[in-house]
Amino acid sequence: MPATFSIAHVTPYPWEADNEVNAHVRFVARALSQRGHRVLVLAPSRSQERVRDARRALRASRGDQDALLQGSDRGEPRVIAVGEVLDVASGARRRPAALPIDVARTVEEVLGTVALDFVHVHEPFAPSTSNAALRHSRALNVGSFHSSSERLLSTLLARRFVESFFGRLDARTASLPATAELMARAFPASYELVRDEDGAAERFEEIYRGLAARRHAGGDPELSRALSERPLIDVDLHMHTDHSYDCATPVEVLLATAREQGFGAIAVTDHNEISGALEAAAQAEQAGVKVIVAEEVKTAGQGEVIGLFIKEKIPRGLTLRETVAEIRRQGGLVYVPHPFDRMHSVPDYEHLLTIIDEVDAIEVFNPRVAIGAFNEEAGRFAAKYRIPAGAGSDSHVPQGLGSVRIRMRDFDGPQEFMQSLREAEILTRPSSLLYVQALKFLQTRATPRSARQASKARRLRRVRRASGSGGRR
């Protein structure tokens, strides 16, 4: 039996408006419902009664992810009026200056309440209901564009803002060749032609299935049962030693701090270098902390990627795909750090999609990310592709350890690690980014080489005295 999905179609126009976009949404949503999919339509409305009914249904559904979807797979989708708006002349294709706050909040609540496979947005320009849905979606996203008029693009108030949210689209379609040409020129990407006619629902169904096939499979239940007998340990998957060009933390100091912080395992992920991780692994048993040998590799203009459980140094400057292949050749795991932090070297959305089948885990929390929305975006991406979520302090100074930890079952090797990570809990602790960044600057760029060497010697003496005197705390 073909797979069926839970889908929300979102239109920017009041549901009562008679225009080609709403007509298309009605036709496609009904056809998908007739084919056994559970379908919601999210739309603004000019009817107070319809909005009140929708809000009553939403309140009644809280705590039940399937309540709003029930019965929507029997030939008629369920329409949710997400808020009252003034009508807009469909021919003008203009948008209001701002989306009413109640509309945006209702969209956020619906998408946070209902378990969806897909959010399918139509004309998702900002500000609009469709753009709000794209902003809050944790599902796979499809964007459909219908207008072939330059006037539509000329009304945009914040082109860069719109473009950043278009990056969340996992597939884009256009209803006319002229529309595809216009959109590709204004917002470069691949736009698949799906005409507003009979057969559109079937074509969208094919697109949905193709995207769904890219979601990662679940774990191994038998291995999960075996690991359930193991003790819980705390793990940090991202940190640096003085083998990184921008860090002054000696390996022994890092290990001693990790032990003091109560970590059972850490991944040492120096920039474009593996020697620090190998040194840490050699001291791991004595230090009482398990060490995953890893490297944070800078690719050729496509961001950074971490190889976990590797054995040899991977050179910087390879393409993203070549770097991933080298991690795989060594039997390692592909871990993507701070994937959407525009202030780091990151693979953009399109590059990440090209290797999505090879990604084992994604860092969804990094305390050194200055803007929390970037971590949230990573969390959404991991959730919709069902990729295990990881986290790490990205510590360049010992004081950064402990700001985040993954609580997971103890593991031995990559396979057990991955199964344990799938069922792990990420715990965060408030920390000062300014403080740790200032310490990093003071310990590296602000300190001459001779002073850094003297400081390293003092820190090592302190660690060795503590260790030699039974100083495990």
Q: Please give the helix or strand (H or E) that residue 329 lies within, else none.
A: helix 320-329
How confident is the model at residue 14, as a pLDDT? 94
What phi and psi values does residue 24 have, to the nearest 5 degrees?
-65, -45
CA R_g for the chain: 25
Closest-CA residue to 335 (of 197, 190, 236)? 236
Tell me: do 164 and 254 sit in the same domain.
no
Q: pLDDT tens per residue, the chain (473 residues)? A: 578 999 999 999 999 999 999 999 999 999 999 999 999 999 999 999 999 999 999 888 888 888 999 999 999 999 999 988 765 544 444 444 567 888 889 999 999 889 999 999 999 987 889 999 998 999 999 999 998 876 566 555 555 666 677 888 999 999 999 999 999 988 888 999 999 888 999 999 999 999 999 999 888 999 999 999 999 999 999 999 999 988 888 999 999 999 999 999 999 999 999 999 999 999 999 999 999 999 999 999 888 999 999 999 999 999 999 999 999 999 999 999 988 766 665 666 777 888 999 999 999 998 877 676 788 888 888 998 999 999 999 998 888 898 999 999 999 999 999 999 999 999 988 665 554 555 555 567 666 777 667 777 777 787 777 777 544 43
Residues 6+ apart with CB under 8 A from 111: 8, 119, 133, 136, 137, 138, 139
Structural domain for 361, as ranges: 223-467
How confident is the model at residue 446, as a pLDDT? 61
Strand ranges, E, within 299-414: 304-308, 333-336, 361-365, 389-391, 404-409
Enter the pTM of the model: 0.80
Does residue 1 lie within any of the structural domains? no
Given the DSSP bridges, would you call strands 38-45 and 333-336 parallel, antiparallel or unpaired?
Answer: unpaired
Domain boundary among 186, 212, 238: 212
The rounded distance, in Å, linking the Cα atoms of 200 and 28 is: 7
Tell me: do 317 and 393 sit in the same domain.
yes
Tell me: do 244 and 285 sit in the same domain.
yes
What phi and psi values does residue 445 have, to the nearest 5 degrees?
-65, -35
Tell me: do 27 and 154 sit in the same domain.
yes
The rounded distance, in Å, linking the Cα atoms of 380 and 430 is: 21
Residue 269 is encoded by which pair of tokens?
């992920």
Quickly list DSSP for 273-297. Answer: --HHHHHHHHHHHHHT-EEEEEEEE
Any idea what DSSP says for residue 271?
Answer: B
Given the DSSP bridges, would you call strands 140-145 and 118-122 parallel, antiparallel or unpaired?
Answer: parallel
Residue 166 is encoded by which pair of tokens?
């278009």
CATH number (domain holding residue 416): 3.20.20.140
Does residue 241 lie within any of the structural domains? yes
Three-state DSSP state, 239: strand
Residue 218 is encoded by which pair of tokens?
């679940």
How confident is the model at residue 157, as a pLDDT? 52
How confident is the model at residue 432, as a pLDDT? 54
Strand ranges, E, within 315-468: 333-336, 361-365, 389-391, 404-409, 425-428
Tell me: do 207 and 227 sit in the same domain.
no
Helix residue ranges per DSSP H, 355-407? 372-385
Provide the number of structural domains found in the chain. 2
Does residue 106 lie within any of the structural domains? yes
How confident is the model at residue 449, as a pLDDT? 72
Domain boundary among 161, 185, 212: 212
Closest-CA residue to 338 (of 299, 368, 315, 318)? 368
Tell me: do 441 and 292 sit in the same domain.
yes
Q: Are 122 and 25 in contact (CB under 8 A)?
A: yes
Q: Are 242 and 279 in contact (CB under 8 A)?
A: no
How confident is the model at residue 96, as a pLDDT? 47
How confident is the model at residue 437, as a pLDDT? 59
Angle between helices 101-113 and 129-136 (to 10 degrees): 40
Closest-CA residue to 8 (of 138, 146, 99, 168)? 138
Residue 156 is encoded by which pair of tokens?
């945009």
Query: How many CB atoms lie under 10 A from the CB of residue 1?
Result: 4
CATH number (domain holding residue 60): 3.40.50.2000
